[in-house]
Structure 1
């Protein structure tokens, strides 16, 4: 089968990660890069055409597919331009910066018929697929609840190099929790309502540094989540899985999935259960560590995108599904601001209208 011609738009931190995977993959041919700092990027990737204007890239190289790793604010604009040219897209998370922009992108995607994938790479971890299968097969019975933590201490330099992170939209809810919301939608089920509180008492920025959320799932389960960028802990999925060198490996589980017949820790994949005839708090609960392999989720994501483009697989996350994750994440800050429970059903339905 012929190689898939592909362009990468945006050569920042995540764009460079995508570029490495594409360049190393035998099924893809990188035909060009677009980045506003074209001179700098051109020096980093000699022999590859680099454009300051992404439209020129699309028109002159005519790729079959594009990876959109630009700033969030232009995801929709670039995705729409790709759709109008019939170019399949892998767009980094969040799918867009606003729900209005997401609706415009979805409309253009439907009109064009291109295939799409949103870059919530965690869906492609082998441990995540294993967990999803166990919950879906009711290995621990009916899902009763989820308890989760994402907490790490971001250094002062993190905010100094990008002052926008101290303002609305720059806190851990929209930067970090969106990964967790998508992970929970994928493994535990659709989120139908959200309640939340936020605090900025640690850093005193205009945006939250800590938040607590109560999530209600369509299947009746209830989730609680604490997220903070101002606490020293080993409890993040990044540390637990060891998916990137910048996050030292802890091997600790930051999730507990609670079931009527047992429970699961993640990412360690430890199952706790009793035999069905002795379910009682008066007897010990046994632990069993389950096996799963560790893979590079970005390579797995790229190979899934290849299969989606070729029509041999259904997209694990279309732009519509990515927009649902955005809806649920934005609801956390809204619920905290309004001090009210936010229902999501009508908002999900509006995407299909």
Structure 2
């Protein structure tokens, strides 16, 4: 396979970003676009084949692969239709809107054998890969704890553009904090339990505007995460990495990884350590900025998807792994609503078994 024919389902904000990256990539050719707003999308992309019904596109074009960037509640349905036709899928986050839907999608992709990749694009940053390697090799000793912040101020027109953004499910937990959950699972290890609180005090919408979570990792480390769309700060991965032009670059680190022999800031990768022979709070802690390159994670994601389709590498995130991130994220909402600690291990096991059993909020 020298060139991969790829279709797009959903030409909204993230879909348009994918279209730009496909056009710039030498190993892909855009087969067609499917979007319910066919006429508007066709006018924006003259010369491209545009369908109102994605099933019609799949049957007529039958591309090698498809990027699914439709609304969350349609992800599972579209993914299942692709799997049944033997079409590989890159499915945007969250992998589905419910755990039951994720279970159905997992069953169909297993049966068909199609290659899958979930679009948690942060996994493809060079800084993330370097951080993961540093933690795995014990550069800061045993991981003790993690502190994570995602906080920025969403303008009023953000909420006016989509009324669903003011309703349950449209807040920073499922829209934004899910990225932090996935990043922590990938970099620090599997999350085994969560507790949380949330507030809508700033905006007064039915959905939260601020949330904080306490997470427990299987390796024994603990972490805190806070997310808010109502706070003016320089602390988000988007601002820290400069990965998107929509977020002005701050160069600040919203993450601290704390270990028994040192600490790391992310994404700046500042390494803090002491003399190994004299670890003590009475001794100075010295810093060193570690070098890493900066790349476009969306372009790197397409590179990886190409290699997965060709069978050169295993996927960095299957739909099952993406569903684990969804389980942990939905559990944060559940924990905030109930005030209880939620153990995730049984839910992971049920998912791995292919069970369609649903959970609270699923």
Q: Which residue of 2 aligns with 1:98?
A: 98
Matches within 5 A, 1:30-179: 30-179=30-179
- Equivalent residues in 2 for 1:176-187 (5 A)? 176-187=176-187
Q: Quote how far apart the aligned CAs of 1:330 are.
A: 0.4
User: Following TM superposition, by how much is the alpha carbon of 1:274 offset from its aligned partner in structure 2, in angstroms?
Assistant: 0.8
- TM-score calculated relative to the size of structure 1: 0.99
Q: Where do residues 1-353 of structure 1 align in structure 2 (5 Å cutoff)? A: 1-353=1-353
Q: C-alpha displacement at 1:279, in angstroms?
A: 0.6
After the TM superposition, which segments of 4 or more aligned residues of structure 1 sit over 2 Å from their partners?
Answer: none
Please, which runs of 5 or more residues in structure 2 have no aligned partner? 354-362
| Structure 1 residue 45, shift from structure 2 partner | 1.6
Structure 1 distance, partners of 2:309, 2:169, is 33
Cα-to-partner distance string for 1:15-49 (whole Å, 9 max, x where unaligned):
01111111111111111000111111112222211
In structure 1, C-alpha distance between the alignment counterparts of 2:17 and 2:122, rounded to whole Å: 15
Instruction: Please state whether the residue corresponding to 1:276 is helix, strand or coil.
Output: coil
Distance (whole Å) between structure 2 residues aligned to residue 24 and residue 34 of structure 1: 20
* RMSD after superposition: 0.7
For structure 1, the residue ranges without an aligned partner over 5 or more in a row are: none
Shift in Å, 1:11: 0.5
Give the secondary-structure state (helix, strand or coil) at the position aligned to 2:216. strand
Report the alpha carbon displacement of residue 352 of structure 1 after superposing the two structures with TM: 1.4
> TM-score normalised to the size of structure 2?
0.97
CA distance in 2, matches of 1:94, 1:219: 25
**Could you say what secondary structure the match of 1:145 adopts?**
strand
Aligned residues: 353
Q: How many angstroms does 1:193 deviate by? A: 0.2
Give 1:275 deviation, angstroms.
2.1
Distance in 2 (CA, whole Å) between partners of 1:13 and 1:203 is 24
Q: Deviations over 1:188-220 (max 9, x none)?
A: 000000010111111111111111110000000
> Distance between the aligned counterparts of 2:297 and 2:71, measured in 1?
22
Identify the range of structure 1 (199-208 vs 88-97) with the bigger mean alpha-carbon deviation.
199-208
Q: Deviations over 1:281-306 (max 9, x none)?
A: 11100000000000000000001000
Determine the C-alpha separation between the residues in 2 that align with 1:9 and 1:225.
32
> What secondary structure sits across from 1:256 in the alignment?
strand
The Cα offsets for residues 310-348 of structure 1, whole Å up to 9 and x where unpaired, read as 000100000000000000000101111111100000000
CA distance in 2 between partners of 1:148 and 1:178 (Å):
12
Separation in 2, partners of 1:328, 1:59: 35
Residues of 1 paired with 2:207 and 2:37: CA distance?
Answer: 29
Distance 2:208 2:40 in 1: 35
